[in-house]
Each structure stands twice: as structure tokens, then as C-alpha cells.
Structure 1
Amino acid sequence: MIRYLLIALMFITSVGHAQFEGQKTYCNPMDINYRYNFEQLNDSISYRSGADPVIVNHKGEYFLFVTISGGYWHSKDLINWRFITPSRWPFEDMCAPAALSYKDTLLLFQSTFDKRPILYSTTPETGKLEFYNRWMPQLPPLIGPWDPALFYDEELDKWYMYWGSSNTYPLFGAELDKRKRLAYKGAYKELLRLHPEIHGWERFGPDHTSEIVPFTEGAWMTKHNGKYYFQYGAPGTEYNVYANGTYVGDHPLGPFTYAPYNPVSYKPGGFVTGAGHGNTFQDNYGNYWNTGTPWVAVNWNFERRIAMFPAGFDKDDQMFSNTRFGDFPHYLPTKKWENKDELFTGWMLLSYKKPALASSQKDTFDVARITDENPRTYWVAKENKPGEWVVVDLKKEQQVNAVQINYTDYKSNIYDPFDPKIYTQFRLYYSSDAKNWIKFADLSDEKKDRPNAYIELKEGVKARYIKYEHIYVASPNLAVSDIRVFGDGLGKRPKTPAKFTARRDTDPRNAFISWEKVNGAVGYNILWGIDKDKLYQTYQIFADKPSVKEIRGLTKDVSYYFAIEAFNESGVSERSEAVFVK
């Protein structure tokens, strides 16, 4: 039927408007106006990017700090984020900044190998920043503090800083002296190094397949039930396996013990891959969240986005982050959640590998790439002009609840992140017959850049076709990596995969997983953990891939349980019985 769309699209009418005000859900990557990164200006590489996030809950509101952004973001609900240009900012901008809320004050400190000040604000929503101190004392060359994290222990009434970013040096920590405006108090201390020969997930490369010495960075400290969870990112931001781990101790400076259930935040499969180098914070209801840095790498290996995942501590105080369906829509909580999966909306991916048609195409950048769930492939229109369009055919009428539009910076020439011409405008329509079209989103007056625009419908609508109508982007080319459609396929959920097996390799850092494919499945979640009731790790595999997978993120001398579930456009199967591997 899609071949008739060229004719039908000439007769679009808007016979209604499904409202999406009062949004209640979010979808990774986060829908913020990622800044154009001038870091590669000398190499003529232009792209939007965001990395190394820190979200701080300050006086019941949220502040997001991101590498090289020329400012920060403010939100009251974790959905709507407003960019703030501060009153003062380091001339070289901030990489991987540290931020901490203390009483009525928000403290901010940048990564550095030199003397730099700590800034503070009692009204960060206004952008007004002042000097808390003029500089931190100089440390030995190459020691840092790069990727710093500030921590205040209320029970001890003591201050600490943690830092490090290297595949040579360890992560460090030091006590700070509040009486001297948070200068170092005594000597700094080595806290941890990576051990990829033991911890499989700390190995570098795609799916941990490289022998390159891995990197550790992104220190963060969380205190829970009297224990100190010293968190770190590894093995490197450039691949799908970027993750967060933790060591646990009884004192802010250790000694710390490696948590056998590591990593605590891990997302190697799906559209959003990579969950490392972020922070852990609590919302206004006491729910924990873990942030991270997914990998995009279209224009440069370090082109990235921001994600946040529900996190917490179970009844045994085991730390975890829930990345299962971590790039599908989730509710923002209105209370303290009781089940780690209750924020998942159940809206399934309806658009995977579905046919698409475009108004035009530049070179070989064909529109089929727009539904392949890969941010590194993309469609490019012949011209960046209003009226260009894409239609996704869901192949049958389904219930649509949300749509995500993911733009790509193809041959961009923007280097000024504050250029007022940087914003995104488009319209979205749905139809059941490709003849009568109903507009459900109109961003024609938008003056905000939304490179990962997420549109939630107030109520689900029945539709077979989704149409994107272009109005404006600032870059020379209109390029879209993926149009992702979520909702309910209005059918039966798939059966549980049969003949599921898990076998430990002779190298115990690896395990081989296999299963029998399920008819009609869109994909599978391989689940594992250190107990059959603690299957906190997920590797998402699409159904058109082989039904075997090598998992290379295990730790020697730790036993695991593995299980699997299938999902389609209508829901998720029951999990298989958990298989024990020693």
C-alpha cells in the first residue's frame, strides 16, 4: 500500500489535533537542547553532543551539568529542561563538572590539571554564580583533579573530593578542609584501579573484545544505610559497553571492596547503548536515578548523548540500575516506586525495520535507515527545506502513544552553540488509510533545539502511518537517524523462548547464551545477575539477529543466573526459568 502514498500525501487534511500537553513520560536519550560542540572546531567537525552528566536535586528542583555546554539546565519535573547561561563561566568551558547541593548552596567545580576555582550559587535557577574560593591548590602533573566529584558526609560533617580519568592512573580521593574554603586536607589517596583480567566488563572495545588498556573515570559517591558506594565509569566512552561500577566501603576514603554484582549500570544493546560516566541522585519522592553517557559516534568517536535510568538499592543493599527497555518510554514517578519495573509504560517499539518513504534522498542515504534502531545510520533529504517529509508504514493499524525524532549532524557547519538560529521545527501526522491525515504535533513555532525530540500523545490513537513533515533545522542538511514509534500492537504478546541455555566459557569472564527463536518476536532481553531474583543486567537483541550471544561482562569467581524474555509490538513474554552457571 505504501506505493500509493505519493498520491495520497498530496491531499493531507488536518481533521483534529491530539493534545500532548501535560507530558508524563520521558524517553532516552534525554530530550534536551544538546549544544553544538566547538571542541573540534580546528578539525572542521560540527556536531551536537552531551556527556558526563551530573543531575543535582537542589531545594526540590533539578540542575543538569554536562561536558562543554557553555552553561547548564534547570528543571522542576525531570521532563522540561531550560538551558541557563551563567553569569560567569570558565573561559575554556567545563569538562565533566562536579556539582553538589549543600543546604541553600549549590557548589560547582570543573575538571582541571591546574589551579581552578570552586563556584557557588544560592540561586542557580537565575544563573548567578560566585567564587567560593579562587582556586584549588596545584596537584602533581597528570594527577588532576580531572572528572571530579564533591561529597559531603552529613553524619561525619566532613567534605571529600574524588577524581581521575586515565588508563594509567587510578581514581583518587581526598578529604577537603571546609575551614579553608574546601582546600585539600592532607594527602590524596589512591582508591581503585581496573582489573580487566578479572572483571570482564572492564575490558575495552565493542562487546569487550579489545586488548587496549581500559580507562576509568567518572567517580561518584553515594552513601546508603551507612555504607559508601564509590562509583566509577569503565572501560571507555567510545563503545556500547560503557558502564558504571561500584566498590563498597565503611568510610568515605575506604578501604573499598569490589561489588560482585558489577556493573551497576550497563546497556550494551538497543538504540541507546552505553550507560557509563554519570551520577546517582534522588528525586523528590526518594527514588534513585543513575545517569550515563550513551554513544552516538557519527561525526566523531566522542559524539554522545545523556540518559537517565531508574536505580536503587534492593533489600540486601545491592545497588542496581534498571536499563531493561531503557530506551523505551518511561513514566516519571509521582511517588516512591515499589517495583523496579513499574515506571516502564509498556509502550512497545512499533517501528523497527518498518517500510518508509521519503520526499527525497541525497546520495545513498536512503530512508530505510530511519527505522533500523541505529543512531549511526541516517537518512538525508536532497534539500533542507520546508515540506520535506517521511512516512513510516507500521503495516497494520496499531495504537500509537509516542514518537521520537532523532536528528543527525551530517556535514554541519555550526560552531557557535549560542547561535539564535539553532532550533528545530516540524509537524507530525497519523493516518489509517494514507488518505486522511490527522495532525498530532505542531512545532512550527518552536524556538528550541530538540535533536532527540520526544512527543507523547495525551491519549493513544489508532494509526497505521506516521508522517514527519519538515519545517526547519539550522544545519545545512536535513538528516534523521531514526523515527521511533511506540505504543501497543493490539495483538498477543510473544511466547517465552524455548531451549534456553547458558554455558560458562573456559575463560570465566564469558558465557555463551542460546535460545530458540519465537515466531513474531521483535527482540529478546537476555537477563542475568548473581541471584535468580536479582537479574539486573540486560542485553537487548533484535529478532533478526542470530539466536546465540556471547556475554563478555562477567567477573571471575562469581556465579550467575541467566534468563531470557521475548518482546513484540504487543508486549513481553514471561521470563524463562533462570539457568545457573558457576
Structure 2
Amino acid sequence: MRLAVAAALFATAATGSTAAPGTRTYANPIDLDYRYNWEQVSQGISYRTGADPAVVRHKGAYYMVQTLADGYWRSTDLINWTFIKPSMWPMRSVVAPAVLSDGERLYIMPSRMEGGVILVSDAPETGKLDYLTRRSPELPNAIRSGQEDYIKPGQIAPGPWDPQLFKDDDGRWYLYWGSSNVFPLYGIELDPKNRLSYIGKATEPFRLHPERHGWERFGEDHSGGLPDGTKIAPFMEGAWMTKVDGRYYLQYGAPGTEYNAYANGAYVGASPLGPFTYPNWNPVAYKPGGFVEGAGHGSTFADAHGNWWNTGTPWLGYNWTFERRIAMFPTKFEADGQMWSSTRFGDFPHWMPEGKVDDPTSLFTGWMLLSYKKPVVASSTLPGFPAERITDENPRTFWVAAANKPGETLTLDLGATKTVRALQVNFADYKSGRFADAPDIYTEFRLEASADGKTWRKIAGTEAPRRDRPNAYFQLDQPERARFIRYVHGHVGAANLAVADIRVFGNAGGKPPASPTSITATREQDQRNARITWQAVKGATGYNVRWGVKPDRLTFTYQVFADDGVKKGVGGQDIRSLNIGQDYWATVEAFNESGVSPIGAVKPIR
């Protein structure tokens, strides 16, 4: 009876039959003017990137600070973000910052190995920043940078690197930090009356346990290491503390930002410095498949309506291992204490809620991907970078025009006239050679639609004021009926015009696929691993493998496309993120350009 009820609930969510909780939408990776990274310029590498987002709500607005940006962003609606150039900024820029609002002032604390600054502002909307402290006291018993191999019991790693500030309801302040595959996370109390100096000794809340927690294993799909077989210990980083209903959730990113399996987890305690307990519902935010891959190292915050969000760092990794973007996922704290983020269709358009939303999955618009593997014609092409790459749902492959000049075009054939609701244009960096403050770094283009490929009408495009939009997203004012979509280039501030993917969302007007059948969920001898299989569904574009710690709470999703590894009519996916000793249930749903099937039978993973 319980499974039948669960199936009915998930079928309702899958079809999108509930009323839309908002009128405006967003899509991951979020539409920011990502800044050019200067770290690898000396090696001839230049690319736009964003990582480690720290988001807080301060005086009715949201502020985002991230890694290697020469300033920060402000938003009043979580959709439109304005970059703010600060009055001062650390000479070495900011990496993995801590950000906190005490209600009156905004604090920014960059990562540092020794010394450093804490910045503060009572008017962050203006960019005005002041020093709270220019050099913080060294941590008690801290070892010097470069001496990691000689750590002794009681010694603390250099830092704080990847810091996070937390102010409790009783007015006491705390600092958490750590980024290593050798050292753990740390926590310590701060003195707000003495420029946030340290009180007492740092504690060690917890360490990684990949031998018990499958998702904490390093590598692609938790392989344990590099593609060449080299084994690497997993990394733990990105601490973030959130207090909900008297519980303290100390969050962390693991096992490494370089691959699709990057995720956020949480330990739970009854006090800010613990002791903390590992809940077997971990990880919190997990997105190993789809266009956006990875969800680790971010922040958790509540919006103006009381809805929770968890941000993270999806992996790109073409120009350099740590080339990344920013994603934002709706999140919920259950009454029993479970914290989870909805990443189902996590890179498709979602509603931005205009009130309190109880079910994070209800924010999915139901607008389906219409552009997958559709044919493309380009006005010109640099050899080795064909236009067909812009519909492959892979951000690490891209088309490059023969010349970066106005008027270059890309034309997608959707195969039939369909209803278009939103579009996303994702640019790539190929031999860009740029710096963040160059005045010509901005994006201009228009998107056109046609029913016959001859008569065109503009349906979207960039507008003033000029800014860079590496992941430009457009929700159309009205649904458009079109078979052809054309990108018409204006300007991009890079040496080459390169586009990774043009993604078209809407509805094909047909029937959703049937529910997958013959589902099996087999746990391997190594209980961290499982194999989910199903009978391939005719007409399916792809599948969502869904699992969780309760049959009516399937919080994890692995999205796969139907043409990925399907043999003899049978689909399958390995899941390598399970916790030893925890029971799981799994199912599969199919999707196409017209909608999502009801879920298949929910099976225990045995």
C-alpha cells in the first residue's frame, strides 16, 4: 500500500500537473557574467569560470561572492544578478570565501594560508568595503605552509582555507574551514568583540570515510582515482553551517571538484562545535548526470519566502581542471531532519517561487529539451570543431566559427514545428586570451525562429546594458511555434566565437513515454555500489534513475540519455554513491520532448 501511494505521488510530480508556483524561471548553470580567470594566463590559458559560491540574504537582497572574481554579485530576485565592483579587493583576489550577514553589516573573509583580511560593509550595494582586520592571528599550534607531511597530533593545518563564518542565535560566532585530502575540517569559536579573534582551541568535527560512504570516493562516478588508474584520496572542503529547528548542519563538499560526482554532504549536531553525527541520507546535493554535472562546494540559504536553496560548483574542465560554473538547487529540511536538494531535471528550466513551496520538485516547469542531437548548420566552422556539438548536451565539446565576426549563424532544425518556451546559449572559451576587466568583454546576439526556414522572427536576444553572458538564459514572453531556431552573432569578447550548446526547451505536442518496466535494483557485494536496469522505452529521449532512503522519498537522480550505453533494448546505470548499512529503494522514469512518464515500480536495492 505504501509503495502504491508513493507511485501516485511521484506520477503527479512527474507530469507537472500541479499549478506553477511562479511566473518567472531560471536554468542552471545560472546566468551570470562569469569573470575571466587570470591564474593560467602565463600558460596561455584564459577562460571564464565561477566556483565555490557563498550566498547570503542581507537587507532584502542576495549577495554572492565566489572564487577568483574581482568583486561580487547582488540580486533582489535570484534571477537577475548585478556585478558590483568593490572599493577595495585583496591583491591576491578571493578564493572560496566566507560570507556572513549579521543583519547590519556584510562580512567577506577570503581563504588564506597565513594572515589575510576580513572585509566588512554597511552598504555592500554601493561596493563600499572596509577592513575589519588586515591580518588575523595565527591558529593555535598551526603548522607552516609546506609542512603538511610532518603534521603531528594536535597540530592544525595552515589556514583558514575555505572558511565559513556562522553567527548563532545567542550571538556567539564560529569559524569552520578546511580543504584537503590529508587534513579534516576544523571549527573554532570567534570573539566578535575583538575583531573575530580565536577563542580556545580548534576542534576536528569529522573526516571523510570513503570506505563506508560510496559518494566520498574520488574520481568520475567515484572510480577512486584518475582515468589512468592512479588512486587518489578524496578531498573534503567547502564547510558551511546552517541551523534549522535546533539542529546544526555542518556541510562539506566531497570528493573533488574535477569530476561529475562532486557533491555536498552534511553532518548534524546539537551544538555549533558538535559532536556531529553522519546521517545515512547523505549526500545532500548530488548531480552526476546531464548537461550540468556536479553540485559540490556551495552554500545554503533561505529566500524571502522561507524556501531553502543549496548552491554548488558544476564541473566544466575543458581549458583547465578547475574550470567551473555555478548552480542553484531548491532544498528542503524534512521534519525528521533529512536535508536534501532536488536535482531532478536540475539543468532544465525551473520556476522561481513567489511564495512558500513545500515540494522542491514542483518547481520543475515540465518544459522538455527539444534540441538534443538535432541537426545544425553553421555559417562557418573552424576545422575540428563541428556545429553538431552544440546539441550534444556536453559542455566540454563546442563549435568554433572560422571567424569571430558579426553575422555568423547557427541554425537548428527541431525536426517538426514545436512549442518553444525557453532557450539557453552556452558559450565556450577556446584560446580566449582575455582578462576580466577588458572593456570589450560583453556578449551580443539574437535568437530567431521560423516555421519554414525562410521567414524569420526575433524571439530573444541580449539587451542593454552590455554585459558578458557565457550561459545566457531566456524565458520567452509567449510560447513560440517553430521548427527552426537560429543564432545570429553580434559580439563576444574573446579571440574566437565558440558555442558549447544551444538548448531549446518547450513541448513537442505528443505523448510522454510509457513507464519503464522490468526494473531491477541489485546491490553489489561492495554495498557502496548498485546496478539499476530497465527495459528500454520506445520513443524515450532519456531516463532518470531515482533512488533514496525511503520508498516515498527518492531524493537522488542520475540522468542518462537513451543513446548512452543502451544495448539490446535494455538500459542500465551503475550507482556508486551508497552508504554501507543503509537500505535504499530505486525506480526509473522516462522522458521525451513531450513530457515525463509516471515512475516505474519502486524496488528495494538488494
TM-score (norm 1): 0.95
Pick aligned residue for 2:443 from 408, 418, 424 = 424
* Structural mapping, 1:431-470, within 5 Å: 431-443=450-462, 447-470=466-489
Separation in 2 of the partners of 1:479 and 1:133? 43
Q: Contact between 2:101 and 2:107, CA under 8 Å: does it hold in 1?
A: yes
Residue 200 of structure 2 aligns to a residue whose secondary structure is coil
Residue 29 of structure 1 aligns to a residue whose secondary structure is coil
Pick aligned residue for 1:394 from 404, 414, 436 = 414
Matched, 1:150 2:141: no
Matched, 1:274 2:288: no
Pairwise CA distance, 1:263: 0.5
* Structural mapping, 1:87-166, within 5 Å: 87-139=87-139, 140=142, 141-142=144-145, 143=157, 144-154=159-169, 156-166=170-180
Residue 368 of structure 1 aligns to a residue whose secondary structure is helix
Q: 1:34 to 1:98 in 2, by over 3 A?
A: same
Cα-to-partner distance string for 1:520-555 (whole Å, 9 max, x where unaligned): 111100011100111100000001112111110001
Q: Which amino acid aligns with 2:98?
A: A
Q: Which amino acid aligns with 1:277?
A: H
The equivalent of 1:553 in structure 2 is 577
Q: 1:370 to 1:446 in 2, by over 3 A?
A: farther
Matched, 1:517 2:517: no
Q: Which amino acid aligns with 2:519?
A: F
Cα-to-partner distance string for 1:279-303 (whole Å, 9 max, x where unaligned): 1000000000000000011100100
The equivalent of 2:217 in structure 1 is 203
Separation in 1 of the partners of 2:448 and 2:488? 8
Q: Which amino acid aligns with 1:475?
A: A
Q: Contact between 1:429 and 1:441, CA under 8 Å: does it hold in 2?
A: yes
The equivalent of 1:241 in structure 2 is 261
Q: Which amino acid aligns with 2:542?
A: G
Q: Contact between 1:23 and 1:458, CA under 8 Å: does it hold in 2?
A: no
- Residue range with higher mean Cα deviation, 572-581 or 438-447: 438-447
Cα-to-partner distance string for 1:223-267 (whole Å, 9 max, x where unaligned): 011010110000000000000000011110011011101100000
Separation in 2 of the partners of 1:478 and 1:133? 43
Structure 1 unmatched runs, 5+ = 1-21
Separation in 1 of the partners of 2:561 and 2:51? 27
Pairwise CA distance, 1:157: 2.2
The equivalent of 2:8 in structure 1 is none
Q: Which amino acid aligns with 2:600?
A: S
Pick aligned residue for 2:305 from 285, 290, 293 = 285
Separation in 2 of the partners of 1:408 and 1:34? 12
* Structural mapping, 1:248-259, within 5 Å: 248-259=268-279
Identical-pair percentage: 56
The equivalent of 1:81 in structure 2 is 81
Q: Which amino acid aligns with 2:575?
A: I
Pairwise CA distance, 1:376: 0.4
* Structural mapping, 1:349-388, within 5 Å: 349-388=369-408
Q: Contact between 2:23 and 2:352, CA under 8 Å: does it hold in 1?
A: no
TM-score (norm 2): 0.91
The equivalent of 1:223 in structure 2 is 243
Separation in 1 of the partners of 2:410 and 2:463? 17
Residue 286 of structure 2 aligns to a residue whose secondary structure is coil
Pairwise CA distance, 1:446: 5.3
Residue 207 of structure 1 aligns to a residue whose secondary structure is helix
- Residue range with higher mean Cα deviation, 336-345 or 166-175: 336-345
Residue 518 of structure 2 aligns to a residue whose secondary structure is coil
Matched, 1:169 2:188: no
Q: Contact between 1:423 and 1:446, CA under 8 Å: does it hold in 2?
A: no
Residue 179 of structure 1 aligns to a residue whose secondary structure is coil
Q: Which amino acid aligns with 1:564?
A: V
RMSD: 1.1
Residue 455 of structure 1 aligns to a residue whose secondary structure is strand
Separation in 2 of the partners of 1:218 and 1:480? 31
Separation in 2 of the partners of 1:133 and 1:408? 39
Matched, 1:408 2:428: yes
Q: Contact between 2:23 and 2:351, CA under 8 Å: does it hold in 1?
A: no
Separation in 2 of the partners of 1:34 and 1:445? 17
Pairwise CA distance, 1:444: 6.5
The equivalent of 1:25 in structure 2 is 25
* Structural mapping, 1:528-543, within 5 Å: 528-543=547-562
Separation in 2 of the partners of 1:443 and 1:535? 39
The equivalent of 1:299 in structure 2 is 319
Separation in 2 of the partners of 1:136 and 1:171? 19
Deviating above 6 A after TM superposition, structure 1's stretches of 4 or more consecutive aligned residues are: none
Structure 2 unmatched runs, 5+ = 1-21, 146-156, 225-230
Q: 1:330 to 1:280 in 2, by over 3 A?
A: same
Q: 1:446 to 1:428 in 2, by over 3 A?
A: farther
Pairwise CA distance, 1:339: 1.7
Separation in 1 of the partners of 2:280 and 2:358? 24
Q: Contact between 2:235 and 2:254, CA under 8 Å: does it hold in 1?
A: yes
Q: How many residues align?
A: 559
The equivalent of 1:471 in structure 2 is 490
Separation in 1 of the partners of 2:461 and 2:214? 47
Pairwise CA distance, 1:351: 0.4
Q: Which amino acid aligns with 1:226?
A: G
Separation in 2 of the partners of 1:437 and 1:157? 60
Q: Which amino acid aligns with 2:602?
A: A
Cα-to-partner distance string for 1:193-228 (whole Å, 9 max, x where unaligned): 111111000001110012310100000001011010
The equivalent of 1:12 in structure 2 is none
Separation in 1 of the partners of 2:365 and 2:408? 32
Q: Contact between 1:524 and 1:543, CA under 8 Å: does it hold in 2?
A: yes
Matched, 1:563 2:587: yes
Q: Which amino acid aligns with 1:563?
A: T
Pairwise CA distance, 1:134: 3.0
Matched, 1:573 2:594: no
Pairwise CA distance, 1:573: 0.5
